Amino acid sequence: MAITSSAKKAHRASLRKRVFNVRRKKALASAVKAIKKNLSAPAEAEKLLPRAYKVIDKAAKRGVLKANTAARKKARLVAAVRRAQKQEA
């Protein structure tokens, strides 16, 4: 438990930040899940890519994800959509 007043304040701040971080992680997971669910219809999955890019970039900007992790996630999503398009054709 925090003892000093500055430690108490830091704890309050971390609790507030946690709400935003959890929200961003949940948005990230739902965007990725939506694309993976729609891989059977590659055209639909491709339409969802910009939203996923936006969510991933915001998470990286705010420090929820590291930059390389964000880049890797985007690359793997695009690769999955391309593979699905190739299999459909």
Residue spans of the domains in the chain: they are: 23-88
Count of CB atoms situated within 10 Å of the CB of 48: 18
The distance of Cα 79 from the centroid of its chain, to the nearest Å, equals 17
pLDDT at residue 44, rounded to an integer: 94
pLDDT at residue 88, rounded to an integer: 82
pLDDT at residue 89, rounded to an integer: 73
Question: Cα–Cα–Cα angle for 12, 54, 83, nearest 5°?
Answer: 130
Q: Which residues, given as ranges, of the chain have pLDDT below 50? A: none
